[in-house]
Amino acid sequence: MPSTPPIVAILRGVKPDEVLDIAAALVEAGIEAIEVPMNSPEPLVSIGKLCAAFGDKALCGAGTVLSPEVVDQVAGVGGKLIVTPNIDVEVIRHAVGLGLTVMPGFATPSEAFAAVKAGARSLKLFPAGTFGPGHIKAVRDVLPKDVSVYAVGGVGAANLEPWIKAGVAGIGVGGELYRPGYTAEEVGARAKALVAAWTEQTTQ
């Protein structure tokens, strides 16, 4: 995953005619990973545009990926990132086999280890807000040290500290950064605030 700051922007609901302006604002703010969930309007069109314009500056791909067939579709338009809300071993293995970065969503230690066994090296606790920082700390204690755990869902600029102390490698953020109707300027301002909060918490 991108090194600094380790934030994945989730653009759920983004449209192809706005994705480039929004992505430009995110990249300018210092965010280096962008996912377009597959339940967004024409997601493959948006992902293709993203990869063509920002593939050298950010890790771009799809979220809410539920099948190996969709992995192929995302790879076909240049996507390098596959994010899932669940543990599907077939999806993970297929994405890993294509050389993509896969970030499957887990809740329990059993799910986390199933993902790791399938080849995932970046996991996301989802929805993180339901489980809390203590849960992620306990799971991290038993996972291989080379496995990164991200917190996604209910984590943002206002509550970063306990998650960072629990040892998250990074976060995924959706509605705090982007919702349908937000302008690129609004997204840029929100992204800068989030990056500043992360930097402040991790350099203390």
Residue 73 lies in a domain: yes
Digit-coded pLDDT (tens) for 46-95: 999 999 999 999 999 999 999 999 999 999 999 999 999 999 999 999 99
Residue 26 lies in a domain: yes
Distance (Å, rounded) from C-alpha 178 to C-alpha 169?
Answer: 22
Residue 39 lies in a domain: yes
In this model, does residue 204 exceed pLDDT 90? no
Digit-coded pLDDT (tens) for 138-155: 999 999 999 999 999 999
pLDDT confidence band for 2 (50 / 70 / 90): very low
Q: How many domains does the chain have?
A: 1
CATH no. for residue 153?
3.20.20.70
Distance (Å, rounded) from C-alpha 190 to C-alpha 167?
Answer: 24
Digit-coded pLDDT (tens) for 91-108: 999 999 999 999 999 999
Q: Which domain holds residue 78?
A: 7-202
Residue 19 lies in a domain: yes
Residue 2 lies in a domain: no
Residue 116 lies in a domain: yes
Question: The pTM is what?
Answer: 0.95
In this model, does residue 114 exceed pLDDT 60? yes
Question: How many degrees, rounded to 5, is the angle at CA 55 between CA 172 and CA 144?
Answer: 45
pLDDT confidence band for 4 (50 / 70 / 90): low
Active-site residue numbers? Answer: 35, 124
